[in-house]
Amino acid sequence: MTTAKLVVDRVRMAFPRRGKEPVVALEEISLTVAEEEFVVIVGPSGCGKSTLLRLVAGLVEPSAGRILLDGREIDGPSADRGMVFQSYTLFPWLTVRRNVEFGLSLRGVAAAERQRVARRFITEVGLEGFEDAYPEQLSGGMRQRTALARALANDPEILLMDEPFGALDSQTRQLMQELLLRIWEHAHKTVLFITHDIDEAILLADRVLVMTARPGRIKKELAIGLPRPRDISLLTVPAFMAYKREVLGLLHEEAVRAERSRNEVGGA
């Protein structure tokens, strides 16, 4: 993988505050994601992980720097970026099938093709038989399966995932992780994934990027050399545990630094 699909170039993000200094969420963030690569970002709470993903999605503009997808600067939302959030973002008045078809409908795709694509991805995420169910009739895991199918149905250039399994119980979360791994092995979409869960990060990623406490910067990049295809049986192997110890150590350093900074401010 050598082609840079996504380039984040010296991005800074500051949020203004009336009568006070701006809150700097991100400072000098630079990273690349290669074609078909699965990159996961972890970091302390409040470090700007989700802000970074929203910038890539085009939902907000950076204070400085630029973000490019396929060499073109991002200047707003587009169907070339598929987004899956932690919160359930399905339209409650639409069935599973209609939710999956929604983006295709906006693009003017013919009904027969919409149905074909929706059927394919509903099958891919294991929701056959629930095509006509409404979101309120689904479990949390099934809702996220629907959200994933909807994002994939649009055939985005990159899939952006912001803590997509964070609200699920541990067993459902593991099932969703394995589902995502199977889909990725088949489709090889470029993925930028945000999580607090270190096990999840290492299990899914080609590379893990560890961020500092606010203002968020890239502290370290770890190439994950575990063989693919993967499943949760890897969580107990020595190589996995070695990666986990390293990431835990890096995040602990940042937690200590953030606490010291808070104490210094409080004592000033």
- Cα distances (angstroms) measured from residue 185 to each of 84, 155, 165: 18, 15, 19
- Catalogue the long-range contacts made by 173-176 (C-beta closer than 8 Å, 24 or more residues apart): 173/197, 173/200, 174/232, 175/141, 176/141, 176/144, 176/145
Please measure the distance between the N-terminal and C-terminal CA atoms of the chain and give it in whole angstroms: 49
At residue 1, the pLDDT reads 45
> In the chain, which residues have pLDDT < 70?
1-2, 88, 262-268
Q: Is the CB of residue 180 less than 8 Å from the CB of residue 194?
A: no
All structural domains of the chain: 4-80+156-267 (3.40.50.300)
- Cα separation, 77 vs 61, in Å, equals 11
Q: Which positions ≥6 away from 253 have C-beta within 8 Å?
A: none
Alpha-carbon 108 to chain mean position: 27
- Cα separation, 198 vs 251, in Å, equals 10
At residue 2, the pLDDT reads 59
- Cα distances (angstroms) measured from residue 258 to each of 43, 44, 109, 196: 12, 9, 49, 16
